């Protein structure tokens, strides 16, 4: 049976377009998805079909009955990736930049999930579109990920991420010189109220987000940082450093026109040619599901990022 969501318009909410009212009310649904549902009759106002531009009125009851999701069949694909560690229970992989973790809108194939099904006969939740996947990295970010081979390991690891017991360390290059040798960014994050695909510090449903950092080295127009995210919010590091005025190099979504700060045209061209973020998950530590002992893994910067640092020196 489909989920049924009911909401009543409050006095102060009158006059808004139906699609805008619902997108602000339910941040997990994009405005375009809501508009499509309204058009196909999955949204009713006072028991009747409506239009996206309907101006809601106080006391109106709005019901959303989302259609069932389209089934996504995951096909094994021979996509190369580096295995850092493997045992009977889990795998630690080095995800390259440019590889999406699992299928989603616009990415039905060519993901790490497709590659995992190809490389491993035994993987947890293999019937889903996220086989073995306990956490994720953005497409343009590289680094360590742990993958579960069975459901028990999956639940054990997922609980560690949920309770913030997993220790993660990233390396990042950001625009501008960060003056502090170390610091903590304690700024809540949530879905951007105007651009659904982005995360913002202005969200009305923001959740606590905490990031600690250390400055490894300052260059003329950049800072090289070691970053420890305490929480695991979507886009956390990228948005937190945008908030500080030091967006991550290569991040056009949250970096805006930061590339224009680079005065050397050859250096600017080098950065643009990277086609990725200078953000790398270099270390991961957690309690192993089988032994109960803490294990840790570490990998160096990818060659293209190390080369950029060499250019800066």
Verify that 157 and 122 share a domain, yes or no: yes
Phi and psi angles of residue 268, each rounded to the nearest 5 degrees, phi first: -60, -40
pLDDT at position 69 is 67
- Tokens representing 132 are 């073995």
Range of the domain at 227: 169-282+305-312
* Contact criterion met (CB below 8 Å) for 143 and 282: yes
Q: Is 138 a catalytic residue?
A: yes
- Residue 103 placed within a domain: yes
Rounded to whole angstroms, how far apart are CA atoms 240 and 264? 26
Q: Domain for residue 157, yes or no? A: yes
pLDDT at 107: 67
Tens digit of pLDDT at every position of the chain (313 positions) = 457 899 999 988 899 999 989 988 887 787 888 999 999 999 999 999 999 999 999 999 999 998 886 666 788 999 999 999 999 999 999 999 999 998 876 667 889 999 999 999 888 887 788 889 999 999 999 999 999 999 999 999 999 999 999 999 999 999 999 999 999 999 999 988 777 789 999 887 899 999 999 999 999 899 999 999 999 999 999 999 999 999 999 999 999 889 988 989 999 999 999 999 999 999 999 999 999 999 999 999 999 999 999 999 8
Report residue 253: phi and psi, to 5°: -65, -45
Residue owning tokens 């700024």: 187
* Residue 254 falls inside a structural domain: yes
Same domain for 201 and 145: no
111 with 55, same domain? Answer: no
The CATH number assigned to the domain holding 153 equals: 3.30.2350.10
Q: Are 174 and 153 in the same domain?
A: no
pLDDT of residue 297: 98
In-domain check, residue 179 = yes
For 281, which DSSP code?
E
CA 51 to chain centre: 32
Distance, CA of 51 to CA of 92 (rounded, Å) = 49
Quick one: tokens of 109?
A: 């194939």
pTM of the model: 0.79
Residues 267 and 231: beta-carbon distance below 8 Å: no
Last residue of a domain, one of 142, 163, 184: 163
Check whether residue 77 and residue 57 sit in a common domain: no
Do 271 and 293 contact (CB within 8 A), yes or no?
Answer: no
* Summary count for the chain: helices (H), strands (E): 8, 15
According to the model, what pLDDT value does residue 95 have?
97
- Total count of domains within the chain: 3
In the set 138, 186, 192, 290, the catalytic residue is: 138
Give yes or no: residues 208 and 237 share one domain: yes
Cβ density class 195-212: b for 16+ within 10 Å, e for less: ebebbbeebeebeebbbe
- DSSP letters spanning 102-145: S-BTTBSSSSHHHHHHHH-SS-TTTTSSSTTB-S---TT-EEEE
pLDDT confidence of residue 32: 82
In the DSSP assignment, the letter for residue 260 is: G
Please state at what angle helix 31-39 crosses helix 18-25, rounded to 10 degrees. Answer: 130
Q: Which string of DSSP letters, residue by residue, matches 188-252?
A: -BEE-SS-TTSEETT-TT-B--EEEEEEEEE-SSEEEEEEEESS--TTHHHHHHHHTT-PBTT-H
Whether residue 84 contacts residue 142, with contact meaning beta carbons closer than 8 Å, is answered with no
């Amino acid at each position: 049976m489909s989920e049924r969501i009911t909401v009543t318009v409050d006095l102060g909410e009158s006059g808004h377009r139906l699609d805008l009212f619902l997108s602000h009310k339910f941040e997990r649904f994009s405005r375009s998805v809501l508009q499509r549902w309204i058009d196909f009759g999955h949204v009713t106002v006072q028991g009747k079909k409506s239009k996206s531009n309907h101006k809601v009125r106080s006391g109106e009851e709005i019901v959303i009955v989302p259609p069932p999701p389209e089934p996504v069949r995951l096909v094994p694909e021979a996509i190369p990736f580096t295995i850092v560690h493997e045992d009977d229970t889990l795998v630690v992989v080095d995800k390259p930049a440019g590889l999406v973790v699992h299928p989603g809108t616009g990415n039905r194939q060519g993901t790490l999930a497709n590659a995992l099904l190809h490389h491993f006969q035994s993987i947890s939740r293999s019937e889903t579109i996220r086989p073995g996947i306990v956490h994720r990295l953005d497409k343009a970010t590289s680094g360590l990920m742990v993958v579960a081979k069975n459901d028990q390991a999956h639940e054990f690891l997922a609980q560690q991420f949920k309770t913030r017991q997993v220790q993660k360390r990233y390396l990042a290059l950001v625009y501008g010189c960060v003056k502090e040798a170390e610091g903590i960014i304690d700024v809540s994050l949530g879905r951007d109220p105007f651009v659904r695909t982005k995360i913002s510090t202005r969200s009305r449903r923001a959740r606590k987000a905490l990031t600690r950092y250390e400055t490894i080295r300052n260059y003329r127009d950049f800072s090289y940082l070691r970053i420890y995210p305490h929480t695991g919010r979507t886009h956390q590091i990228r948005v937190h450093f945008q908030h500080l005025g030091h967006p991550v190099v290569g991040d056009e979504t949250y970096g805006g026109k930061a590339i224009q700060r680079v005065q050397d045209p050859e250096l600017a061209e080098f950065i643009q040619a990277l086609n990725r973020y200078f953000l790398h998950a270099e270390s991961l530590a957690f309690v192993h599901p089988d032994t109960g002992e803490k294990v840790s893994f570490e990998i160096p910067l990818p060659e293209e990022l190390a080369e950029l640092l060499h250019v800066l020196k």
